[in-house]
């Protein structure tokens, strides 16, 4: 890593550095895994590289279908150059099948197909544990304008349609996923683009060829086995990784568990 780079921000799973060109930043994908609002932590070697490569692949596909994203290009296996944006403080969750917090909140059995896709918004605030908010909160507190929120909803539906089909084609059920959006000014116009990442860290992916086995971060959250093997399989089915390429074999190192 180049030590002369200026670090702008370090989050739970990524580090942001100043970019080499104006209005760009470098995103570095770490091997750190956190769950339950960072109460459970571990370092899982190889996770950052797999997430970077999967996210690069999916963002490139989305750019190709005219869905604007912050992604510009990958710099190496772990880092990508992205457009600098102001992150909208919302986690936008799209759901197709009941799981996780929705199943718990509404007493639904995990795996129940939803009558239609449902979009939820959470206010990005670790101290508050990312509370769920609605359109009223978002516009009243000025986190996004009604027009921006409209763009975010339309883009989320399009992304869901595209990704659901893409994963279905490789025997993977896209149960739910989390998106983040950013804004930037272009020709005096404010534009919204997809930001952050799309990887098995922020999706629920179930293996339709193997009894709906989990291929996502629930493996870490619920101690279900080897996370890198599962992420590697996702990358392999997407065609990012060659069938004979081997995943890194190191075991997760538990740093802290306060559960
Ligand atoms: N998610 C995420 N980051 C978060 C919360 C949720 O990426 O801080 C993703 C999660 O991986 C899942 C979807 O959003 O794919 C829905 O998560 P849910 O609300 O069920 O919460 P969880 O059960 O993960 O706490």
Same domain, 160 and 243: no
Which residues of the chain fall short of a pLDDT of 70? 1-3, 248-259
Q: What is the pLDDT of residue 3?
A: 58
Three-class SS state of 67: coil
Cα of 61 vs centre of ligand 1, distance in Å, is 23
Are 57 and 67 part of one and the same domain?
Answer: yes
Query: 218 CA distance to ligand 1 centroid (A)?
Result: 9
Whose C-alpha lies nearest to ligand 1, atom 11?
202
What local confidence, expressed as pLDDT, does residue 245 receive? Answer: 85
User: For position 253, what pLDDT does the model report?
Assistant: 54
Residue in 196, 201, 195, 171 with CA at minimum distance from that of residue 183 = 195
Identify which of 236, 192, 218, 203 has the alpha carbon closest to the alpha carbon of residue 87.
192
Contact 124, 89 (CB under 8 A): yes
201 with 134, same domain?
A: yes
Confidence (pTM):
0.94
The continuous run of DSSP H or E covering 56 comes out as helix 47-64
Domain with 66, as residue range(s), is: 7-85+226-250
At residue 4, the pLDDT reads 79
Tens-place pLDDT, residues 50-105 = 999 999 999 999 999 999 999 999 999 999 999 999 999 999 999 999 999 999 99
Structure token digits, residue 110: 């995990």
**Phi first, then psi: what are they for 154, rounded to 5°?**
-65, -40
CB–CB of 162/62 below 8 Å?
A: yes
Number of domains in the chain: 2
**Which residue's alpha carbon is at the smallest distance from atom 2 of ligand 1?**
202
Whole-number Å distance, alpha carbon 98 to ligand 1 midpoint, is 12
Does residue 178 sit in the same domain as residue 136? Answer: yes
Helix 47-64 / helix 227-237 crossing angle, nearest 10 deg: 30
Residues 23 and 103 in one domain: no
């Amino acid at each position: 890593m180049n030590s002369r780079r200026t670090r702008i921000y370090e989050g739970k799973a990524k580090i942001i550095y100043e970019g080499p060109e104006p209005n760009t930043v470098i995103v570095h994908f770490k091997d750190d895994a956190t769950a339950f609002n960072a109460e459970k932590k571990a370092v899982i070697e190889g996770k950052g590289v797999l997430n970077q490569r999967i996210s690069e692949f999916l963002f490139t596909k989305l750019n190709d279908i005219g869905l604007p994203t912050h992604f510009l290009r990958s710099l190496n296996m772990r880092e990508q150059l992205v457009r600098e944006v102001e992150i909208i403080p919302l986690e936008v969750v799209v759901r197709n099948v009941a799981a996780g917090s929705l199943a718990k909140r509404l007493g639904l059995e995990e795996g129940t197909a939803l009558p239609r896709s449902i979009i939820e918004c959470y206010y990005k605030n670790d101290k508050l544990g990312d509370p769920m908010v609605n359109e009223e909160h978002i516009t009243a507190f000025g986190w996004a304008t009604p027009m921006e929120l409209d763009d975010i909803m339309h883009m989320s539906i399009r992304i869901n349609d595209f990704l659901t089909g893409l994963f279905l084609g490789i025997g993977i059920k896209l149960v739910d996923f989390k998106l983040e959006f950013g804004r930037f000014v272009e020709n005096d116009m404010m534009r919204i683009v997809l930001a952050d990442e799309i990887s098995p860290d922020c999706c629920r992916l179930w293996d339709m060829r193997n009894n709906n086995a989990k291929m996502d971060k629930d493996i870490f959250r619920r101690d279900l086995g080897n996370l890198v093997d599962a992420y590697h399989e996702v990358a392999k089915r997407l065609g990012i990784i060659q069938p004979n390429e081997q995943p890194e074999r190191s075991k997760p190192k538990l740093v802290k568990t306060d559960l």
